[in-house]
């Protein structure tokens, strides 16, 4: 099978990345959090590996779909979803993660 990868110059105004079921191998770029306008990150059913990078800058993201890849066993940061106030869907299953705990944001209402 050919080694498929994607190379592109990421711009902060990008709002959609859909690379599902493309057989892509490699890692996510460490500067992914600079895509502040990103709404959908959809890269499921590939062979993406390595750690999940800091995603704290993705404050407008609605859909985070990373399932069925090969992300590393490294612990996922407790604040993975920090600042993602518009997040509606997050799929991380079927990756070889270490057990982790999700931090809960504490907000007062009223």
pLDDT in tens, the chain (110 residues): 455 545 555 555 668 889 999 999 999 988 888 888 999 999 999 999 998 888 988 999 999 999 999 988 777 777 788 899 999 999 999 988 877 666 665 444 44
Question: 30 - beta bridge partners?
Answer: none
Tell me the HSE value of 44 on the side-chain side, using a 13 A CA sphere. Answer: 13
pLDDT of residue 110: 41
Strand stretches in 1-110, DSSP E:
16-18, 25-27, 40-42, 47-50, 63-65, 70-71, 89-91
Q: Which residue segments constitute the domains of the chain, with CATH numbers given?
A: 11-98 (3.80.10.10)
Q: Is the pTM of this model over 0.85?
A: no
pLDDT of residue 107: 47
């Amino acid at each position: 099978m050919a080694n498929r990868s994607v190379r592109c110059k990421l711009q902060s105004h990008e709002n959609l990345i859909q690379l599902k079921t493309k057989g892509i191998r490699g890692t996510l770029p460490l500067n992914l959090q600079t895509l502040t306008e990103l709404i959908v990150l959809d890269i499921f059913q590939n062979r993406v590996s390595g750690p999940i990078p800091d995603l704290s800058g993705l404050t407008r993201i609605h859909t985070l779909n990373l399932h069925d890849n090969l992300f590393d066993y490294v612990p996922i940061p407790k604040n993975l979803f920090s600042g993602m106030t518009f997040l509606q869907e997050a799929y991380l299953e079927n990756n070889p993660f270490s057990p982790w705990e999700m931090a809960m944001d504490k907000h007062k209402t009223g």
